[in-house]
């Protein structure tokens, strides 16, 4: 809360001590965990079908991502250069508990994705008492945007980045005598990490909004240092995409640069509202 604001400007603020805040945070964390747990249990019930359709989807011919790249190559390049057939995937489990642990990880990942709107809502309810009515109205409308950006990032990675990286990594050969025998934990971890990481980095405009709201950055700062931001964006894209090829990093980095431009517009809106 800004020190120069009159006290009545925050009619919803509660008089809470330190332990009251801790207790409130604990209550919100318990509800987040319960939502993730319920989603994870629901996913575990259907985990065999989920593994067959969802996890193995990007590794099978006819997947939507491969069709997209093929049509894009024919439209822009006039050739079938981007019409890929994913290499055959041979999997194994090297631990006695390997398949069960992989099922648990997949269930938890899907449970978190499904419960993400609840997680965002509980975080918002934790900070809500410190907001004015005007800020509450604005923030409530933005909760949908936060969830939308996350799901957009998850679907973007799953349908486009994972097939692209899969085709490159499984198609790369150091020596023809070496056969790729992939562990199940590697497959599930690869799909989960790329999807979740991309979903979280798609929250860039929200991060910029928060930082602009508390005065750490402004639109002038974002415009002045956009070149450094571009370098940071592609570093983040390289971390979120384990594939070392430049094409997959560009595929993620360019949308992130677009979100950075959106963030500049968001920062300008924050400044305009502060002035008014």
Where exactly are the structural domains of the chain? 17-200, 203-276
pLDDT in tens, the chain (276 residues): 343 334 444 444 455 666 667 888 889 999 999 999 999 999 999 999 999 999 888 888 888 888 888 888 888 888 888 888 887 788 888 888 889 999 999 999 999 999 999 999 998 888 877 767 776 777 777 788 899 999 999 999 999 888 888 887 777 778 778 887 888 888 898 888 889 988 998 998 888 888 888 778 888 888 988 888 888 888 887 777 665 567 667 778 888 888 999 989 988 888 887 776
Is the pTM for the entire model greater than 0.85? no
Max Cα-Cα span within the chain: 75
- Picking from 111, 264, 112, 263, the residue whose alpha carbon sits closest to that of residue 200 is 112
Q: How many CA atoms lie within 13 A of 95 on its CB side?
A: 10
CA distances from 201 to 25, 237, 273 (A): 25, 9, 26
Assigned token pair, 61: 């011919």
Assigned token pair, 48: 């065999």
List residues bridging with 91 in a β-sheet: 182
Phi-psi region of 78 (alpha: psi -120 to 50; beta: other; left: phi over 0): left
């Amino acid at each position: 809360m800004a020190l120069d604001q009159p006290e009545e400007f925050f009619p919803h603020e509660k008089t809470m001590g330190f332990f009251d805040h801790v207790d409130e945070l604990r209550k919100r964390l318990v509800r987040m965990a319960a939502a993730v747990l319920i989603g994870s249990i629901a996913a575990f019930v259907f985990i065999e079908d989920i593994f067959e359709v969802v996890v193995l989807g990007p590794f099978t011919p006819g997947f939507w991502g491969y069709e997209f790249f093929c049509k894009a190559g024919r439209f822009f390049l006039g050739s079938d250069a981007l019409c890929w057939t994913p290499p055959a995937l041979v999997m194994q489990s090297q631990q006695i508990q390997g398949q069960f642990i992989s099922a648990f990880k997949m269930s938890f990942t899907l449970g978190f994705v499904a419960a993400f709107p609840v997680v965002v809502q509980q975080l918002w309810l934790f900070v809500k008492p410190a907001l004015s009515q005007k800020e509450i109205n604005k923030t409530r409308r933005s909760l949908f945007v936060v969830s939308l950006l996350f799901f957009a990032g998850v679907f973007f990675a799953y349908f486009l980045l994972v097939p692209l990286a899969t085709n490159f990594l499984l198609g790369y050969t150091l020596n023809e005598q070496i056969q790729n025998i992939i562990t199940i934990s590697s497959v599930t971890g690869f799909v989960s990490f790329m999807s979740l990481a991309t979903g979280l980095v798609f929250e860039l405009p929200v991060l910029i909004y928060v930082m602009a709201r508390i005065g750490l950055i402004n639109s002038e700062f974002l415009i002045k240092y956009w070149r450094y931001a571009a370098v940071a964006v592609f570093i983040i894209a390289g971390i979120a995409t384990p594939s070392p090829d430049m094409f997959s990093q560009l595929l993620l980095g360019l949308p992130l640069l677009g979100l950075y431009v959106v963030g500049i517009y968001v920062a300008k809106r924050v400044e305009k509202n502060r002035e008014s």
